[in-house]
Amino acid sequence: MSGARVVIVGQGYVGLPVAMRACEAGFDVVGLDVDKDRIDLLQRGKSFIDDVDDERLAAALATGRYLPTTEHAELRGFDFASVCVPTPLHDDAPDLRYIEEAARALSTHITPGCCVVLESTTYPGTTEEIFVPILEAGSGLRAGADFHVGYSPERIDPSNPTWKFHNTPKIVSGVDPASLRVVREFYDQLVDVTVPVPGTREAELAKLLENTFRHINIALVNELAVFSHGLGVDVWSVLDAAASKPFGFMRFSPGPGVGGHCLPIDASYLSWQVRRCLGKEFRLVDVANDINKHMPDYVVARATEHLNRRRKPVNSSAVLLVGLTYKANSGDARNSPSMAVAERLDRLGADLRAVDPLIDPDEVPPHVRLVGFDADQISQSDLIIVLTDHDILDWALLERYADRVLDTRNRLRYPQVERF
C-alpha cells in the first residue's frame, strides 16, 4: 500500500501528526484544511502544534510527498482518506457539521476500492448513520460493496513525552469484514499495534469510555481536594499514600478543572446519547461535569480567602497566573480552566498578569497581560496562582515569595506555599 495517495482532512492536533507519519511511511499525502492561515503556515514549514516540530514538517515537505492545501480538487484519486476534524458541542448537543462537510467533500472523489475512515471523536452510530449515507449519496456507490469505510478513534495526547501517535495502540473497525481488513492494513503501516474491534459502534463507544473514565476520576479527586481542605487534611499526602497500593488503584490528580478538546466534551457526548436513546440520565457523567466545571470557582474562592487573610480585596489586587494552557508543557489552550479562572478574577476586579512561554499570545484574553517570569513580576504580585506547571519555568524564583502562592498543581513543596 506504500506509495498510495492518502488524504487527511483536518490538519490540527490530530490530523497533522497522522499526515506526518503517513508521509514518513512512504505515502503521498494531501493534508486538507479549510483554515487558510493554518495551511499557509504549513506550506512555509511552520508548525503550530507541540507534537510536530518545524524540522519534522520541513522534512515531510522536502520529500515532495506532503501537500498541505485548502483546495478540494486535490482530493481526487485518493486511495485512503482519514477525517480528523473537530466535533464540538453546541447547546449541549454534538455538533457534527465538520464531519458532514468533510464527508460531502470526499464523496464526489470516491472511487471503487478506496477507503474512508473517520477518526473524529463522536457518539456510537455516527459512522454508519450519518457519515456513510453522505458518502454514498455523493458518490453513487455503496459502502462495503463498492468502497471501504471504518472508524478509528484518535488517541493523541499533546506533549506526552512517551506516548506518540506511532507507539500508541490504535483501535480499528470497519462497516464490514473487508473494510476492517483494509483499515487495519493501512494503520499497521503507521503504528506499532492495531486493535481490531467488532464494529464501528464499539470503536466509537470505546473512545468515549476512555475519556469518560478519566473525566469521572478527575472529578473524584477534585471533590476530594475540596473536602480535604475543609477537613484540614493534605490531599496530596492522601494521594501519595493511596498510590503506594500496587493493585486496584490508579492515581489521578486534582487541579483547577479539565481542558483540551476531549475531557470537557467526550463525556457529554456519551451523556447526551444516553438521554436521547434511552431516556435516562448518565448520573456519573452529569455529576462529574458539574464538579469539574466548577473547579475554577473553587480556585477563585481559595484565592479570595488567601487575600482576605492578608487584608487585601480581590478588587485591584495584582494577581499573577502561572500557566494559561490546559496542561503542562503544551501550548494548547483549548477549553483551558485557567482561562475560566482568569475570567472570574477579572469580574472581581483583579489586576491580572500571566506567565506562559508556550501559549500563542493571540490566545491570551484581553483582560490578561502576558509578562515574563522574573523577580520583579513576582515581587509586585499580591498573589501568585499556579494553574499549569510547565517544566520550562524557573520554579526556584518563587521560593522567596512562597507565602503568596496558591498552587493548584502540587508543583511547589515550600512550607509557606498554600496548596489544594
More confident residue, 396 or 275: 396
Is residue 367 predicted with pLDDT exceeding 90?
yes
Map out the domains of the chain as residue ranges: 5-198, 199-293, 295-420
Q: Cα separation of 82 and 62, whole Å?
A: 22
- pLDDT-derived band at 292 (thresholds 50, 70, 90) equals very high
> What residues does 383 pair with on adjacent strands?
319
Query: What pLDDT is stored for residue 264 in this prediction?
Result: 67
Give pLDDT tens digits for 106-152. Answer: 999 999 999 999 999 999 999 999 999 999 999 999 999 999 999 99
Q: How many CB atoms lie within 10 A of CB 366?
A: 6
DSSP for 369-417 reads EE---SHHHHHT-SEEEE----TTS-GGGGSTTGGGEEESS-----TT-
pLDDT of residue 90: 82
Residue 2: pLDDT band by 50, 70, 90 thresholds?
low
Q: And the C-alpha cell for 168?
A: 500508541
Q: Which three cell numbers stand for residue 363?
A: 490566545
pLDDT at 372 (0 to 100) = 94
Sheet holding 351-355, edge to edge: 369-370, 351-355, 318-322, 383-386, 405-407, 418-419
Catalytic residue among 114, 115, 262, 277: 262
What is the C-alpha to C-alpha distance for residues 251 and 341, in angstroms, rounded to an integer?
Answer: 25
- pLDDT average, residue stretch 352-357: 97
What percent of the residues of the chain are helix, what percent strand, and what percent coil, each to the nearest 5? 40, 15, 45
Residue 1, pLDDT > 60, answer no
- The stretch 351-367 carries a mean pLDDT of 96
Query: Domain 295-420: which topology?
Result: Rossmann fold (3.40.50)
pLDDT of residue 400: 92
Closest CA to 216 of 121, 293, 285, 274: 285
pLDDT recorded at residue 8:
98
Mean pLDDT (whole number) for 297-311: 97
* Proportion of the chain above pLDDT 90, given as a percent: 89
Which residues, in sequence order, are CB contacts of 226 under 8 Å at separation 6+? 298
Percent residues over pLDDT 70 in the chain: 99
Tens-digit pLDDT profile for residues 374-397? 999 999 999 999 999 999 999 999
Q: Which CATH class is domain 199-293?
A: alpha beta
Q: What is the CA 299 to chain-centroid distance, rounded? A: 22
Do residues 268 and 292 lie in contact, with contact meaning Cβ atoms separated by under 8 Å?
Answer: no
Whether 5-198 shares its CATH topology with 295-420 is answered yes
| Residue 48 pLDDT | 92
Q: At residue 50, does pLDDT exceed 90?
A: no
The stretches of 194-294 forming alpha helices (DSSP H) are: 200-231, 235-243, 263-278, 283-293
Task: Count CA within 13 A, CB hemisphere, residue 320.
Answer: 23
SS3 of residue 115 by DSSP: strand
Taking the alpha carbons at both ends of the chain, their separation in whole angstroms is 52
Reported confidence tier of residue 364, pLDDT bands at 50, 70, 90: very high
Query: Can you give the pLDDT at residue 267?
Result: 79
What local confidence, expressed as pLDDT, does residue 274 receive?
Answer: 87
- Mean pLDDT estimate for the chain: 95
Give the cell for residue 27.
Answer: 505515502
CB atoms closer than 10 angstroms to residue 101: 15
Q: Are strands 194-196 and 369-370 parallel, antiparallel or unpaired?
A: unpaired
Q: Which helix (DSSP H) or strand (DSSP E) does residue 279 occupy? A: none
pTM of the model: 0.92
CA atoms within 13 A on the CB side of 270: 26
Q: What is the pLDDT of residues 197-236, one digit of tens each?
A: 999 999 999 999 999 999 999 999 999 999 999 999 999 9
- CATH number, domain 5-198: 3.40.50.720
> 227-268 pLDDT, tens per residue?
999 999 999 999 999 999 999 999 999 999 998 877 667 778
For 65, the grid coordinates are: 510527498
- 262 carries an active-site annotation: yes
What's the per-residue H, E or C state across 60-92? HHHCCCEEEECCHHHHCCCCEEEECCCCCEECC
